[in-house]
């Protein structure tokens, strides 16, 4: 028969910050952050405080998202029985501590609604799956210390430094959450490793994307136009719109208004999380119009029916054309250089054409316009330059 008390499952899930009694020394503690954990208060037979009164001691039983109310009651009863026998539960109980992987999976589940998209959430857990779970995944969460964290970080700290930094941050998050749930105590070992500078300093490599000189682009574009492949059409469209690769590959017909000559990229597909309108020139329309005959959801359909091109398709096309020193993303830099050096475009117009945020938060709050008309004029000039219409 299950033990009973004052609390219910619904109350456990919804009670606000504070200490809420269930009876017989069992409490649900809700932190201001919303974290919930169980504690039990017992009096160990024979133990006295400095004034000679019975010594009351609190023991953590685990987080309420992992330990159910019935499990908490059973553990509390076990602690009280030991205390009545004069046994200190701190030294005489084998608690069921969850493993690092179990807690990490729970943190991942809890934080899914807060991530920008499912892909980001999957990347978060994948990093732990690939580099932490094989080393410490099955270890109890309260036994993870500096040596265990170093086991995860050291092998990739130099060769995969950015990945290692992300891994460190994610391990730290899991351990911080575990501490908030009463599953571990003491300083976070990731913080201790950072403060002690145990790992060597790694000189950051500047991130850049090799770009084609804008003066060479018209000749390349002319050669590209002769290629009879969907990847070639996608690359033409990418160059002319100065869009990101992912934005182009995932474009669907519903996003394009042919009458208004406008492509509206929804916020969920934008790096900055803000809807972006792209003015389309006649040349851009001419590129995508024939592709409607494919009757696909995606404008640039790949080899699989109703699936977009792969994210490597345009880069591989560049390599087949013997263009080894340029990346697809680099054409955005080519556009930006042209806009500054040749078109003498205002900075805010050029930056907004690349879907970059311009100005401070306050400035953006007052800047209600996305400068579509001015951007349309600039993109038409860009199209005419690239496609050779102005010569």
Residue 290, pLDDT > 90, answer yes
- State the pLDDT confidence band at 169, using cuts at 50, 70 and 90: very high
This prediction's pTM: 0.49
User: Taking phi first (over 0 means left), then psi (-120 to 50 degrees means alpha), and beta for anything else, what does residue 372 get?
Assistant: alpha
Q: What is the reported pLDDT for 208?
A: 52
Tell me the two tokens of residue 158: 């130099």
Q: Which pLDDT band, with edges at 50, 70 and 90, does 90 fall under?
A: low
DSSP state of 363: H
Which residues lie across from 41 on neighbouring strands? 58
* Largest separation between any pair of C-alpha atoms in the chain: 98
Confidence of residue 273 (pLDDT cuts 50, 70, 90): confident
DSSP state letters, 54-119 = EEEEEEEEEETTTS-HHHHHHHHHHHHHHHHTT--HHHH----PPBHHHHHHHHHHHHGGGSSSHH
pLDDT tens for residues 303-350? Answer: 888 889 988 999 999 999 998 889 999 999 999 999 988 888 888 899
Q: Is the pLDDT of residue 168 over 50?
A: yes
Domains observed in the chain: 9-92 (3.30.160.390), 100-196 (1.10.150.130), 214-386 (1.10.443.10)
- What pLDDT was estimated at residue 367? 46
Q: Which long-range contacts (CB under 8 A, 24 or more apart) does 130-134 make?
A: 131/156, 131/163, 131/164, 131/167, 132/100, 132/104, 132/167, 132/170, 132/171, 133/100, 133/101, 133/104
Helices (H), 132-268: 133-136, 146-153, 161-180, 189-196, 217-225, 230-241, 245-249
Q: Is the pLDDT of residue 280 over 80?
A: yes
CA distance 181 to 198: 28
pLDDT at 1: 44
């Amino acid at each position: 028969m299950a033990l009973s008390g004052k609390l219910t499952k619904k109350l456990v899930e919804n009670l606000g910050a504070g200490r809420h009694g269930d009876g017989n020394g069992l409490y649900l503690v809700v932190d201001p952050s919303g974290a919930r954990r169980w504690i039990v208060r017992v009096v160990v037979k024979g133990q006295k405080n400095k004034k000679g009164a019975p010594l009351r001691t609190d023991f953590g039983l685990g987080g309420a998202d992992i330990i159910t109310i019935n499990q908490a009651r059973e553990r509390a009863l076990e602690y009280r029985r030991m205390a009545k026998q004069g046994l200190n539960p701190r030294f005489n109980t084998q608690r069921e501590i969850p493993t690092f992987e179990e807690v990490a999976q729970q943190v991942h589940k809890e934080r899914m609604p807060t991530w920008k998209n499912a892909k980001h959430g999957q990347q978060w857990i994948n990093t732990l799956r690939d580099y932490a779970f094989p080393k410490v995944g099955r270890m109890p969460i309260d036994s993870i210390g500096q040596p265990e964290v170093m086991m995860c970080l050291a092998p990739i700290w130099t060769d995969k430094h950015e990945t290692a930094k992300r891994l460190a941050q994610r391990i730290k998050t899991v351990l911080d959450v575990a501490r908030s749930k009463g599953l571990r105590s003491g300083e976070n070992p990731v913080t201790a490793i950072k403060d002690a500078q145990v790992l060597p300093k790694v000189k950051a490599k500047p991130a850049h994307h090799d770009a084609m000189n804008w003066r060479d682009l018209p000749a390349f574009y002319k050669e590209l136009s002769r290629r009879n492949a969907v990847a070639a059409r996608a690359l033409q469209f990418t160059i002319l719109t100065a869009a990101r690769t992912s934005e182009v590959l995932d474009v669907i017909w519903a996003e394009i208004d042919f009458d208004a000559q406008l492509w509206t990229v929804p916020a969920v597909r934008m790096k900055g999380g803000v809807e972006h309108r792209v003015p389309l020139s006649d040349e851009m329309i001419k590129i995508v119009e024939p592709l409607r005959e494919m009757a696909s959801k995606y404008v640039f359909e790949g080899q699989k029916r109703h699936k977009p091109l792969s994210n490597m398709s345009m880069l591989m096309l560049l390599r087949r054309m013997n263009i080894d020193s340029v990346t697809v993303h680099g054409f955005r830099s080519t556009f930006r250089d042209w806009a500054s050096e040749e078109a003498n475009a205002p900075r805010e117009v050029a930056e907004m054409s690349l879907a970059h945020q311009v100005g401070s938060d306050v400035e953006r709050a007052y800047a209600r316009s996305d400068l579509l008309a001015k951007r349309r004029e600039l993109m038409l000039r860009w199209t005419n330059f690239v496609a050779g219409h102005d010569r």
